[in-house]
């Protein structure tokens, strides 16, 4: 005996409609410009701390003191930015992590660069 054909009943699919959130282009650009200003200030501060660390290393030989100064300034970077009239509440944590890493790499890199042979006599 032949079996009856089963009829498949398709259930109606739920329709999902994506509605994007409002994007404020002006706010985005202003925030990006603000974070760029913070980035430039952190870069200048790292160069200054690197030069100070190189002077300390060249005259005293205490490389550990230059490292501690770099780490201490990096730890107090948000307070320093607050003293320089930057709004700390507007700083994004993601961008500040990049600024911390930039500061450490640049300050210690400049310190190491300036403690080597061509620059020892200058400082």
DSSP annotation of 1 reads: -
Q: Give me the pLDDT at residue 123, please.
A: 64
pLDDT digits (tens, 9 = 90+) for 42-87: 999 999 999 999 999 888 888 899 999 999 999 999 999 899 988 8
Q: 107 pLDDT band (50/70/90 cuts)?
A: very high
Mean local confidence (pLDDT), 5-34:
81
Q: Domain residue spans in the chain? A: 37-115
Give dist(CA 110, CA 101) in Å, integer.
14
At CA 83, angle to CA 77 and CA 114, rounded to 5? 45
Higher-confidence position of 91 and 83? 83
- Dihedral of alpha carbons 73, 75, 78, 82, sign: negative
How many other C-beta atoms are found inside a 10 Å radius of the C-beta of residue 111? 25
Assess whether pLDDT exceeds 90 at residue 3.
no
Whose tokens are 């500040």? That residue is: 96
More confident residue, 109 or 122: 109
Which 3 state secondary structure label does DSSP give 7? coil
pLDDT at 41: 94
């Amino acid at each position: 005996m032949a079996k009856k054909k089963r009829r498949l009943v398709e259930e109606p699919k739920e329709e999902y409609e994506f509605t994007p959130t409002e994007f404020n282009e002006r706010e985005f650009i202003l925030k990006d410009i603000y974070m760029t200003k913070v980035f430039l200030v952190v870069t200048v501060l790292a160069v200054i701390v690197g030069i100070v660390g190189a002077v300390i290393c060249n005259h005293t030989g205490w490389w550990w003191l230059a490292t501690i100064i770099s780490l201490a300034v990096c730890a107090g970077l948000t307070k320093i930015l607050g003293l320089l009239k930057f709004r700390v509440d507007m700083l994004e944590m993601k961008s500040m992590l990049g600024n911390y890493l930039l500061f450490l790499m640049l300050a210690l890199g400049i310190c190491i660069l300036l403690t080597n042979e061509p620059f020892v006599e200058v400082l």
